[in-house]
Amino acid sequence: MDPSRRKFLQTSLSAPLAMAVGPQVMCALSQAIAPAGAGGPGQEKLFPNPHIIRYDTHCYTIHEKDEIIFSGAFHYPRCPRELWRDRLEKFKRAGFNTIETYIFWNYHEPREGQADLSEFEDFVKLVKEMGFWMIARPGPYVCAEWDAGGVPHWVMAKRFPLRTNDPHSLETSRHWYNLVLPVIQRHQVTTGGPIIMMQIENEYDYAPRLSEEVRLAYVKALAEMAWNAGINVPLLTCWTHQARENADPDMARVMDTCNFYPRWGIVKQVVPALKKLRAEEPNSPVAVTELQGGWFSGFGGKLSVNQDGVDAAQLDALTKTVYEQGVTYSSYYMGFGGTNFDWAAKTLTTTYDYAAPIREPGGLWPKYHAARLVGSTLALAGSVLARAEVSAGPIQSTNPAVSVTERESGKSGVLFVRENANAEQKYKLTFPDPNSPTRRLISVPREGELSLGAREMKMLPVQIAVPGGHLRYSTAEVFAAGEIAGREYIVFYDEPGRLVEIGLATRNEPHIEGETIYQYWDSDYESVVFGIRVVNQDKVWILNNHWLIVAVPAERARGAWTAEFSPAVLLTVEEAKPLLVPFVADAELLRSSGETKKSLWADFEFRPGEHEVTVLLPPEPSKCLVDGTPTDFHYTRSTRMAALHVSTPALPARPLTLNDLTTWTERFDLNSGEWSSGALGALEDSGDIPYGYVKYRAEFTTAAGDQSLFITTFADDAKKVFLHGKLLEAAANNKKDVEVKLPALAAGSHKLEISYELFGSPNFGENIGELKGLKSARVGADEKSAAAIASWHVQRYPAGSRGLRTGRGRQQLAPNFGARGWPPVSLSAGAPKGSFVPAFTWCRAEFRLESPVREWFMPWKLVFEADSDALLYLNGTFVGRYVTIGPQSEFYLPEPYLKFGEKEPNVLILVLAYADTTAPIRALRVAPYDEFATRRTRIEFEW
């Protein structure tokens, strides 16, 4: 199966869920990608500002520092701008250094000539302010499960082949680039901004039915547009093999990359594709523009979080695999997914949660902490991996189901250990010491065996410099290493019950305080080696009276954080470096930290419940406060460990069931709303394309006798067809050509009403540029003799007269819409739902939320279930589309859209499709996301 997300979309239901590997794959793993030669095309053209940014076969070098690009995708239109900072802060806390985003053409220029790039520029500025780099991906085509892949419908109305070197395609692409590239240009890293790369096109290898000549010409044209616009950061693309044709001087300046969505087919898909990329792009880093951060959800399928192969364990193994294979630039797609609102591609749910590390309402879960622990490892060993090459070996495992790879840079390295049989394994391993002139072999453990869980992968440091000396190696992963007031520490983590072997540099015969399973001193290599057992609590060993060795259960490491403080708080200690204080707990987030002259504090977010916190502190504090209240704590002087208990109260909110509504039923009434009249044609030719319904109404005259209706549409969108108010079920489908036998008709005039469901265009494939609407409708005894219905009334729905802001963008209803004159109704269980009718029923419900408690992060959702599809609005803003086939029944209610306090109620408006009562509604309530709610708690120590 091809690792592209486009190909994966076609085969995802049959994706393998086991990391099954055979001898050939094991061989491939043992021969991880080695870098090619470091030569390259004309360096002056490729890197106009090499002192600011350049790359070679290994990595990017930014401001003369080799970097691992650890990135996550964040599409700013999928998140209210008031929440951007919160989401970016969570990226920052997880160790990400780069944010990647698409810039959607149709979002910024929904009508030709009416463009506004200010939102994008504001996002770029905030990214810069918060200390990230940025990767800009302006398309023109972007995919992204976004309506038409980002191409505006007014472009489609021009009727030319998209994504080609057709003159009209080049002209419109240039038009978009003329709008967006000046913004990118002035925010490049070369001009003091955050943008370090720009992508042209997107997965062009999967654009159908284009010749090689057309493909190459189009990609070259886009690159020339970028260079001519002053883009002097590196250009890249993904799954576009033209960029690998390095004999072409222009293509040699464009770097191609891979995208991977393998679920658990990691080794089979990722390893050979990266080897091929290395062979075909020998002068650039091995890079992954989209590394699976989850997957989207479509109508009738599963929610992202309920899908197989997108959990924390898969992200962990996938990420470590690409580093094992030499990748130095990768970006999770998505890092934060967000919400589609009214820009979803065809069949896509409103939620774009994606099961990403940061969830749709901003909540955190194990996958976030898995990414964060990867970030912790990169903080320790990233400088090694940036230029690491495959070790010459020999490297081996005693268990054939456990593979081992080592990458080395200078005298340091990183070991990658993988379980390949989807079962718990015991093993020993042997690897060369990169710090040894003779490349002596290290065999671990000295006693007993190591353990590895099913599908587990580890990234282990070898000969890594840490405060106070060198970590020779460890069979446990490292959360943090630092120094506090003359005491160095290293925090390791692994599963409880496992043996961990640690090797540390020491010139003197070691003295270890704390129980070990065994210990050895190798005086020739000035190393101490000792074995310990990880237990269900935090434990500390002291080496030579200065080194604190901390081992914590893996679950505790996922909630552990390192807070930075000024050394000035310790008046008796003269240190220039900041204090990096580890807090080991089960906290969801470290929000902030700081200090006064005599204290330091850190604000954490805890879920309701009881929490044990361990802190490594220098001198013994005189006082501990939790939220300003003195709290008992235990301090052990020898280990400098403070332990305390934090209790978080229950969530201060409960669900609200909404039973009382006011309603109004709107039929295909020519006196209601804005209607246009005329012949049928593509909707693109007559106005904006809504995210909603298009109502068609006509009357036709026929003679008595057997008659059939023949309908043709421009696209395979769903529709409902009504004759004299009764549903023609045989025509209720998404076929482009429909023939339906009509019931016996009397001679005379007959009323035909059709609802065309216009909810997005495909985001990839041949139909990206499809036109929309009814093409023809004819009535007759047979197709040959059928007469066209020539005159129609058409309404885009919900219509502008409803107070709805027409066009695309966040759909907005007038704030007071439905406030007066609608009759009240109470929802009742078991009410008969009735059959589909040519009508839409508007429902208005009000609810109040108490003013939020400042300490709580508590996002809200709408829980809605019904037997009719529906559109959902909160305080006038569109927040979701409900469909009866699922899977979405919970809709995020963004905090900026809500009103809190007693002064003003929140107004929820639902539009039930094909219903003239509220009977289809089965559940309607507003509730907090219990699973993501956290309370901010300040832990403070005084001296």
CA neighbor of 344 nearest in space, from 811, 656, 745, 2: 811
In contact, 650 and 608? CB cutoff 8 Å:
yes
First-to-last alpha carbon distance for the chain, in angstroms, is: 61
Task: Write the DSSP symbol of residue 358.
Answer: B
List the catalytic residue out of 100, 290, 419, 483. 290
Helical segments of 888-938, H only:
none
In contact, 549 and 502? CB cutoff 8 Å:
yes
10 Å Cβ neighbour count for 630? 11
How far is residue 227 from each of residues 4, 124, 133, 929, measured CA to CA in Å? 28, 20, 20, 47
In contact, 663 and 562? CB cutoff 8 Å:
no
Helical segments of 281-361, H only:
312-324
Tokens of 804: 């709805």
- Cis check for the bond before 334: say yes or no (omega within 30 of 0): yes
Question: Which residue has 């604000």 as its token pair?
Answer: 603
Tokens of 698: 């006509």
In contact, 938 and 620? CB cutoff 8 Å:
no
**Cα–Cα distance measured from residue 921 to residue 918, given in angstroms and rounded to the nearest whole number:** 6
Outline where DSSP puts E strands in 151-214. Answer: 195-199
Helix axes 212-228 and 167-186, enclosed angle (nearest 10):
30
**Cα–Cα distance measured from residue 289 to residue 143, given in angstroms and rounded to the nearest whole number:** 14
In contact, 45 and 234? CB cutoff 8 Å:
no
Q: Which residues pair with 633 in a beta bridge?
A: 644
CA neighbor of 882 nearest in space, from 849, 845, 922, 941: 922
In contact, 106 and 149? CB cutoff 8 Å:
no
10 Å Cβ neighbour count for 819? 12
Long-range pairs, 525-529, Cβ under 8 A, ≥24: 525/433, 525/436, 525/440, 527/472, 527/503, 528/503, 528/504, 529/446, 529/472, 529/501, 529/502, 529/503
How far is residue 21 from each of residues 26, 264, 276, measured CA to CA in Å? 7, 11, 19
**Cα–Cα distance measured from residue 389 to residue 58, given in angstroms and rounded to the nearest whole number:** 9
Outline where DSSP puts E strands in 770-874. Answer: 774-780, 787-788, 792-797, 824-826, 839-847, 856-857, 860-866, 870-874
Active site residue 575: no
CA neighbor of 429 nearest in space, from 408, 460, 455, 453: 460
Active site residue 931: no
**Cα–Cα distance measured from residue 776 to residue 774, given in angstroms and rounded to the nearest whole number:** 6
**Cα–Cα distance measured from residue 842 to residue 851, given in angstroms and rounded to the nearest whole number:** 28
List the catalytic residue out of 100, 201, 203, 360. 203
Long-range pairs, 9-14, Cβ under 8 A, ≥24: 9/764, 12/261, 12/263, 12/295
**Cα–Cα distance measured from residue 41 to residue 893, given in angstroms and rounded to the nearest whole number:** 51
**Cα–Cα distance measured from residue 23 to residue 720, given in angstroms and rounded to the nearest whole number:** 55
- Name, in order, each residue with C-beta under 8 angstroms of 198's C-beta and a sequence gap of 6 or more: 135, 136, 137, 138, 184, 226, 231, 233, 234, 235, 236
> Hey, which residues are catalytic here?
203, 290
